Structure 1
Amino acid sequence: MSRQINWPELLAALSVGALGAFMVLKGSELSLGSLKRMGPGYMPVAIGVALIGFSAGLVIESGFAARRPFPFSWRPVLAVSVAMLCFAAAARPLGLIPATLGVVVLAALADAPFRPLRAALTGLVIATLGYLVFVVGLRISLNPFWW
């Protein structure tokens, strides 16, 4: 295997770094607060710094890796992107459980042999756990169903 630049991996790492830089920039406009009393800008800045660190590590690692570039496929990118957009649009009107079930089934379309039964069962488990954690445990005001 030759040492050639894996452009998709490098561009993905730089995109993660750009997102981190954006989060640091926008988060620093808000009050950071302190460790004992975190302000609204604390978490965006902390996550942004972590993303920049991951990005730097990925860029360095991709420069030393001697492997073939992975084949790029649009199917996973589109399936996961559509799933996230559908969840954002469906969470309030349909409720947490149907929206979570839908996002898992749509994201499962990214896998080449789509298995609808496994996707539905996984979605039901994740939706139930999401309901227990966010609605019951954290008391977030999100209806489990549309009724």
Structure 2
Amino acid sequence: MARPFNGLQIGAAALLALLGLFIIWQGSDYSMGSLRRMGPGFFPVMMGSVLLLFSLLVVWEVRREEKQENLWVPRPILMICAGFIAFAALLESVGLVPATLALVILVSLAEKPVRPVATVATAAGLCVLGVLVFLYGFGIPVAAIQW
């Protein structure tokens, strides 16, 4: 018996693949460099490749699962977008740690049930990791907390 075809998810995977291919195509105009000395084209080509891989994984997952009837649920889309917007708006004005906290809290509200312990643990871990990697490791000129 043939499995039901989930056109919405396959279409989303196709758009993701097209975006990945476009990014790879645009990034291939720049010098790639090497792993030790990356050129300006390295990051876009790698990110496009990751998007292309994700699109293939989405198609593979869609083939394995049953068709869902109600795919349009606005809450996750709205909360994830709100998290990204809050992070972008707060990063320069209040610092990396509060912006990361706002991002994690808003994104955690996307899925029911809300798990406060997991949200706090994720927020704390991402704040510590963000400060260590981006501020100390890469030396990005952003304050951890700016009052």
TM-score scaled to structure 2, two decimals? Answer: 0.81
Q: Aligned residue for 2:7?
A: 7
Deviation of residue 118 (structure 1)? 4.7
Checking the alignment, whether the CA contact within 8 Å between 1:2 and 1:67 is kept in structure 2 is no
**How big is the shift at 1:14?**
1.1
Structure 2: unaligned runs, 5 residues or longer? none
Cα distance in 2 for residues equivalent to 1:38 and 1:45? 11
SS of residue paired to 1:30: coil
Change (3 A) 1:69 1:2: farther
Compute the displacement of 1:74 (Å). 1.8
Matched residue, 1:27? 27
Q: Could you list the per-position Cα deviations for residues 98-132 of structure 1 after superposition, in whole angstroms to 9, with x for gaps in the alignment? A: 00000000001101223456534532332122112
1:107 aligned partner: 107
Alignment of 1:67 onto 2:74:
no
In structure 1, list runs of 5 or more residues that go unmatched.
Answer: none
User: Do the aligned residues in 2 keep the contact of 1:4 with 1:66 (CA within 8 Å)?
Assistant: no
Give the 3-state SS of the residue equivalent to 1:133 in structure 2: helix
Between 46-55 and 14-23, report the one with greater CA deviation: 46-55
Name segments (4+ residues, structure 1) moved above 4 Å. 115-118
Q: TM-score, normalised by structure 1?
A: 0.81
> Counterpart in 2 of 1:95?
95
Query: CA deviation digits over 1:10-69, x for unaligned, max 9?
Result: 02211210220221122123222345543101221122133224424543664x446223
- SS of 1:89 mapped into structure 2: helix
Contact 2:108/2:119 (CA < 8 Å) preserved in 1? yes
Mapped to 1, the partners of 2:137 and 2:70 lie a distance apart of 42
> How many residues get paired?
146
What is the CA–CA distance in structure 2 between the aligned matches of 1:93 and 1:133, rounded to whole Å?
20
Distance 1:65 1:39, change over 3 A: same
Deviation at 1:91, TM superposition (A): 0.7
